[in-house]
Amino acid sequence: MAKTTPEKFQSKGGFILASIGAAVGLGNALRFPGLCAKYGGGAFLFIYFIALVVLGLPILNAEIALGRRVKGGAPKCMRSLLKEPRAKKAEHLGWASCINSVFTALIYAGLAGWIIATAVTAVPLCLNAPALSDTEISGFFFNDILSARADGAIDGFSLLVAGCILVAWVLMFFCLKGGAASLSKAAKFTVAIPMALLTALAVRGLLYKNAPEALSALFIPDFSKLSSPELWLTALGQVFFSLSIVVGIMPAYGSYLPEGTNIFKCSLVIAAADFLVSVLASVVLFTTLYGCGLQSEIGASGIITAFAVYPVAITRLFGGYPAINAAVGVLFYSSLAMMAIQSAVSMLEAFLNPFSEQRGKPKKRLAAIVCLCGAPITLIFATTAAPTVVDISDRFINFYNVLILGIAECLIIGTSKQTGELADEINRFTKKPKMPKKAFGVSVKFLCPAVLTGLTLYEIVRLVTAGLGYPLWLQIGFGWGLSLVVFAIPALLTAKITPRNIWRRKKLHP
């Protein structure tokens, strides 16, 4: 079996950039601002910030420290925490996190295709906007490009979107093929450019006359919302999704971390960047939509915001200057595409890292195989069923599965006798400030699993009372079925079952 060369980030800065690229994604740019609008602006920000410090930071540090100490991805890290026979079950959990990330990458690749297609059509849309109504502009992508159907039926296919999805996969492969070096280099563009553009759009938004009203709606807390359990659970849960923890990414990145790196300080930078980008994106959304008179259109759905609300705002951004609006539209959606691609790359890296190590195969070759297999699968996002598929699969893969994986990971770390050792690993090259050992233990052992369990129970009650609103066959095909696959594949991986092994067994035992 060929030996794979251990990968390393070339510097602490490379690790931080790559980790920020993994954490900062469409959830920060689109979903977070919508949740702020839905749950009382400053009230949501306040609860989210507390949860980020109390819940998110300890798990983020734990995963990075595990990766550096064990020098491996999530499966190896989880296995190292327990003794046999529980160790094998812990390894299954690590693989489930990695497989879940692969499915998430497929969703992000499809969304990247949508975003690139929107960037391509931004110019003609902006130039023709004076002759179109807000309703026509808002429905342009879903109605004119995708011809989407709410019932999930497939009776059409967009060649434009399909081509853009394939472009996204090509870009993803080039980001993956060079390993840690490529990840940090790509992050220089996929982090810096979107942040620069968001800053420019925020400045433009602040020039609107009613910008103070928009900022007031965003930052002044509506304390009456604090009595809502849904606000607390949503804000607490968003921390886990936003930081890209419990999905196998941070252990993989931690394994590339150079010795001597101050993990705690790095994690503070990552968490701070994640929060600041979320706030910056919220400023852009609120000021832009208030300035364009579209504040009533702000909703919690990032998909609706990106492809139905923002196009209307962008075509109005500079009034009677459609060429400038078109340029802003292209730049804005190009930046969103960078975020989506970087997130997808990070998710695939979470799987490729441990799989390459287990099989002793070159990661570049595995990356090519994954991209070649994933590209045709994601072409379903170019069909009329795409919005329905995205909604169902994203809910199960990025919400329900993450809740289950988060609870299980916290229980494994919390019940392990190595919790104190993990805190020591976090602080190994740290002088000040340090991760408090007692606070770390309380958060990982009690607070995190309690919050995730509460969110899970709340969602179960909501499911029983309200349902998903989709036919059962769609839920099984793109929801329950995918979730089962995520937790079934790890058994095959740990047993090292491959088509070649199956063929050999058939020859030996016909």
- Residue-wise pLDDT for 398-407, tens only, equals 889 999 999 9
pTM (2 decimals)?
0.91
pLDDT digits (tens, 9 = 90+) for 257-274: 888 889 999 999 999 999
- Above 60 in pLDDT, residue 352? yes
State the pLDDT confidence band at 3, using cuts at 50, 70 and 90.
very low
Go through 252-286 and write b for each residue having 16 or more CB atoms within 10 A of its CB, e for each that does not. Answer: bbbbbbeeebbbbbbbbbbbebbbebbbbbbbbbb
Amino acid 68: pLDDT: 93
pLDDT tens sequence across 317-326? 887 789 999 9
**Domains held by the chain: number:** 1
Task: Please give the pLDDT value at position 300.
Answer: 62
Judged by DSSP in three states, 157 sits in strand
Q: What is d(CA 40, CA 506) in angstroms, rounded to the nearest whole number?
A: 62
Instruction: Out of 1-15, 23-37, 445-459, pick the least confident.
Output: 1-15
**Tokens 């400045």, residue located:** 203
Binned at pLDDT 50, 70 and 90, residue 480 comes out as very high
Query: What pLDDT score does 313 carry?
Result: 85
Q: Does residue 453 form part of some domain?
A: yes
pLDDT band at 495 (very low <50, low <70, confident <90, very high): low
46-56 per-position pLDDT tens digit: 899 999 999 99
- Is residue 76 assigned to a domain? no
Indicate whether 5 belongs to any domain.
no
Torsion 337-340-346-350 (CA) sign: negative
Alpha-carbon span 184 to 14, nearest angstrom: 5
| Helices 419-426 and 401-415: angle between axes, nearest 10 degrees | 100
pLDDT of residue 505: 47
Report yes or no on 324 lying in a domain.
Answer: yes
Domain range for residue 192?
12-55+104-241+264-409+444-508
In a domain, 421, yes or no: no
Indicate the pLDDT class of residue 397, thresholds 50, 70 and 90: very high
- What's residue 1's pLDDT? 41
Confirm whether 323 is domain-assigned. yes
- pLDDT band of residue 345 (cuts 50, 70, 90) is very high
DSSP strands (E only) in 174-298: none
Q: DSSP labels for 186-209?
A: HHHHHHHHHHHHHHHHHHHHHTST
Residue 364 lies in a domain: yes
Does residue 167 sit within a domain?
yes
